[in-house]
Amino acid sequence: MTSIQWHKICCPNTQLQLKTTLTGGQSFRWKTHGSAQGEFIGVFANIVWILKQTSSHLLYRIVGELPYPNEGNQDVMSETNHPVTVNKKRKTSAKANLAQIRLKAPEPDQYTTCRNLLYPLKYYEQLLRIYFRLDIDLAKLYRQWTTCHTHFEKNANQFYAVRQLDQDPVENVFSFICSQNNNISRISNLVEKICSNYGDKICEYDGMAYFNFPTVSSLAALEVETNLRKLSFGYRAKYIQKSAEEIIAKGDLEWFQKLQHLNYEDAHRELLSLTGIGPKVADCICLMSLNHLQAIPVDTHVFQIAKNYLPHLGKTKSISGKMYVEIGNKFREIYRPMSGWAQTVLFCADLKQFRKTEERTLSKTNDAGIKDL
C-alpha cells in the first residue's frame, strides 16, 4: 500500500523543527531521504513515512504499511492519546484493533480517504499528532523555560521547536539497550538489524527494504542471544534476550500500560528490574514512551550540561548514583513538570557541538557517543 501524493497537517515551523527532533538521539529509525533537502524517511507504527515541512505545514507521504498493531500484539499508547478515534468525544480502548476504524469511520465529508491506504487519512494525521505531541503549545513552553535559566535562553534561538517524541515503549526499550556505550550511527545500525532479522517486512522502496519493529516474544527466544552476538551486538545481545523474557513474565504489553499509570519514581524503579537497564535507559523509556515528562536521562552530554547548574561538578570526571539523582532533581527544580523535554532541547544543542568534535576526531576513536552512566 502506498500514497504517492503528499498530505499535510497544519503545523507552523515555530512549533516543530523536524530535523533536530528526528535526528537528535530520540529515535534511531530516521534518515535523510535521497538528495532532497529537508526530507526524512523512517518507520513507526508499521508505516514507512517520508516527512518534510514548510513554514506552515508538516507534509507526509506513506510508501508502505502493515496493519497496526502487529498480529498477536496490541498498541500500548495511553488511552487518552490513542489514534483510533470514533468521533471527537469518544475514543476506543487502547487494546482496540485498529481495523475497527474502517468499520466505524465517520462519513466521507468528515474524513478524507485514500483508496490505496489501509485507513482513512485522519488516522495517519492522528498518529503524527501523537508522535510529535502536537497538541502541546511548544512556543509557550519555550517562553517558560527561557525565564527559568539563562543557559536555556542561550540555546533556545538556534534549537527552537525541538519536540519530545511519544514512541512505542517496546521499540524504545530495545533501542536504548543498544545505545549503551555507543554512538547514534552505530545504534541505528543495530536497531535496523533487530528489525530486519526479527520484524516483518513492510515494503521495498528506492532499493531498500523496510521492516517493522518486532514483538517482545520474537526477541525472547533463547537463540536470540547467540544470533545477535553473531551480528556484532556484543554484551547487548544478552540484555536484549533476557529483558524480553522478563517483560513477558511481567505481563508483556499490559505491564507497559501499568507503568504509564504509575508515578514516575515507581515506573523508573520497575524498569530497573530488567536485565541491562540502568538509570539512564530507564529514564529514556519513562520520558520518551511512558509520558513521564519529568524524567531526566543523564548521559555524558547531560552531565556536562549540568555543570551550568551545579558548578561543584566542574572538577568531577565520573558520576555516581548520588550525583545522577542530584542532577535529575536539579533539572526538575528549575524546569518543573516538563523538565525532561527541556533537557532534550539542551541535549540536542550539546549533541550538535559534540558531532562537530566527533567528525574531527573520528580517526582517533571508534566508540565516542552516548554513554549510559
Catalytic (active site) residue 242: no
> Among 265, 254, 340, 344, which Cα is nearest to 22's?
344
Task: Spell out the alpha helix ranges (H) of the chain.
Answer: 18-23, 100-103, 121-131, 138-148, 150-156, 169-178, 184-198, 216-220, 223-230, 236-250, 253-261, 264-271, 279-289, 300-306, 321-335, 339-361
How far, CA to CA in Å, does 61 sit from each of 262, 296, 366? 36, 33, 36
Q: Which one of 52, 238, 242, 280 is the catalytic residue?
A: 280
How big, in percent rounded to 5, are the helix, strand and coil portions of the chain? 45, 10, 40
Contact, 299 vs 372, CB < 8 A?
yes
Query: Residue 231 burial (CB < 10 Å; 0-12/13-18/19+)?
Result: middle
> Among 176, 156, 364, which Cα is nearest to 281's?
176
What is the four-CA torsion angle of 372, 129, 141, 305, rounded to 10 degrees?
Answer: 20
Roughly how many angstroms between the first and final C-alpha of the chain, as a whole number? 43
Per-residue cell: 201: 517486512
> Among 269, 331, 274, 270, which Cα is nearest to 297's?
331
Could you list the active site residues?
280
